[in-house]
Amino acid sequence: MKSFLLVHHFLIFLLMFTLLPLPYDYNALEPHIDEETMRLHHQKHHQGYVNKANQALEDHPVWLEKTPEDVLRQLSHVPQEVRTAVQNHVGGVSNHNFFWESMSPQGGGTPQGDLLKALEKEFGSFENFKKEFSLAAASVFGSGWAWLVSDADKNVKIVATSNQDSPLSQGTDKILLALDVWEHAYYLHYQNRRPDYIEAFWNVVNWEKAQNRYEG
């Protein structure tokens, strides 16, 4: 009986979302994204979403067995009494996971290969894609996200979402890039100048990761 209880508690412990470590140091994206913003954003904001996502699903452990991405893809099947909390907080967990990986200290430049061809086909040129993505990110009213996604036929598309809504809940096949345009993502360094922050993102954007996702 005692060992059963121990095993039970151990399993409960494992059935939780966790805060993934950043794939680089907090100061690695300086001067484009400053260390203090990165630290607060990851340790306080992202951690907060992890905690609240676990709370929201504590009475529905079957959903904690899934990845945050699978939960969001199946959002319409989440029990209704926790669906909004899951949309917000599991969304916050997953969206930030994509965001950290969308940046790299070795980032910037242009994509290559099939992804570059797909962007040129859809937007005419890479420069025009950048312009349209920046405009979509700058135009999000209030808090939200800009995304580069691809569908099952490998067509690329720019999407904007509000709050912590994920394109995965809207039938998107793959997320290639995520840009957080909540004020907490830039206010300490850029204050109200969201367009300057968006411009800085292009200096650290992780095209290698986006290409791997697109081709994978």
Instruction: Please state, in angstroms and rounded to a whole number, the distance separating the CA atoms of residues 66 and 68.
Output: 6
Minimum CB separation of residue 185 from Mn ion in Å reads 5
Looking up tokens 């290639």 gives 176
Q: Tell me whether residue 182 or residue 207 sits nearer to Mn ion (CB atom).
A: 182
174-180 sheet: strands from edge to edge: 156-162, 144-150, 174-180
Minimum CB separation of residue 176 from Mn ion in Å reads 18
* Residues in 146-185 at the binding interface with Mn ion, rule: CB under 5 A: 180, 182
Which of 112, 163, 107, 102 is closest to 133 using CA atoms? Answer: 102
* Under 8 Å between Cβ of 42 and 22: yes
Q: Tell me whether residue 38 or residue 56 sits nearer to Mn ion (CB atom).
A: 38
- Taking the CA atoms of 63, 74, 83 and 50 in sequence, report the sign of the dihedral they define: positive
Binding string, residues 82-121; x marks residues near Mn ion by CB under 5 A: ----------------------------------------
Q: Tell me whether residue 182 or residue 197 sits nearer to Mn ion (CB atom).
A: 182
Instruction: Please state, in angstroms and rounded to a whole number, the distance separating the CA atoms of residues 61 and 99.
Output: 26
Q: Tell me whether residue 95 or residue 169 sits nearer to Mn ion (CB atom).
A: 95
Q: Tell me whether residue 97 or residue 150 sits nearer to Mn ion (CB atom).
A: 97
Kindly state whether residue 145 participates in binding Mn ion, applying the rule CB under 5 A: no
Q: Tell me whether residue 46 or residue 73 sits nearer to Mn ion (CB atom).
A: 46
Minimum CB separation of residue 146 from Mn ion in Å reads 13
Q: Which residue is nearest to Mn ion (CB)?
A: 180
> Torsions phi, psi of 47, nearest 5?
-60, -40
Minimum CB separation of residue 77 from Mn ion in Å reads 26
Instruction: Please state, in angstroms and rounded to a whole number, the distance separating the CA atoms of residues 86 and 62.
Output: 13
Minimum CB separation of residue 95 from Mn ion in Å reads 7
What are the residues whose beta carbons fall under 8 Å from the beta carbon of 191, sequence distance 6 or more? none
Minimum CB separation of residue 99 from Mn ion in Å reads 7
- Contacting positions for Mn ion (CB under 5 A): 180, 182
